[in-house]
């Protein structure tokens, strides 16, 4: 069950979000071999004036940015899968958002199966009690 949090600089754009969420979900399911019905995506917008890199706002720098965090269960994906996801997710978001600051980033968070789950049950429990 991947939990995805995407922060995008700028004002809310629901039309853009729908396309990004759909493509990001498909990419996550394809590359990281996750199930779409268990993929959670939350999108937050942060005004350019409130996003800082090296103490300068994106408004001052004249760039857009994003931060993508994807929480997955530890040991369910290979380094090669994670590297491919990093490349393809960055390319996807660069195309959709445009004019990116080079420090826009992706964080794949490996959580222990006993510390991560949904429906009040850990992934470890689900593994041992299918």
Residue 44 is predicted with a pLDDT of 97
* Domains by residue range for the chain, with CATH: 3-128 (3.30.429.10)
Residue 59 is predicted with a pLDDT of 98
The two tokens of residue 30 are 């394809």
* DSSP characters over 39-99: -EEEEEEE-GGG-EETTEEHHHHT-B-EEEEEEEETTSS-HHHHHHHHHHHHHHHHHHH-S
Residue 119 is predicted with a pLDDT of 84
Residue 125 is predicted with a pLDDT of 74
User: Residue written as tokens 């041992």?
Assistant: 128
Regions of the chain short of the pLDDT cut 50: none
pTM over 0.75: yes
């Amino acid at each position: 069950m991947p939990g995805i949090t995407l922060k995008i600089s700028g004002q809310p754009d629901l039309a853009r979000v729908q396309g990004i969420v759909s493509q990001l979900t498909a990419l996550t399911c394809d590359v990281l071999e996750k199930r779409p019905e268990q993929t959670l995506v939350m999108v937050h917008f942060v005004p350019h004036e409130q996003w800082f890199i090296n103490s300068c706002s994106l408004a001052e720098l004249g760039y857009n940015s994003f931060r993508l965090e994807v929480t997955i269960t530890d040991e369910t994906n290979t380094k090669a899968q994670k590297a491919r996801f990093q490349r393809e997710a960055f390319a996807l978001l660069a195309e959709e958002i445009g004019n990116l600051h080079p420090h826009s980033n992706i964080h794949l968070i490996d959580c222990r199966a006993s510390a991560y789950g949904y429906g009040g049950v850990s992934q470890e429990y689900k593994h041992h009690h299918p």
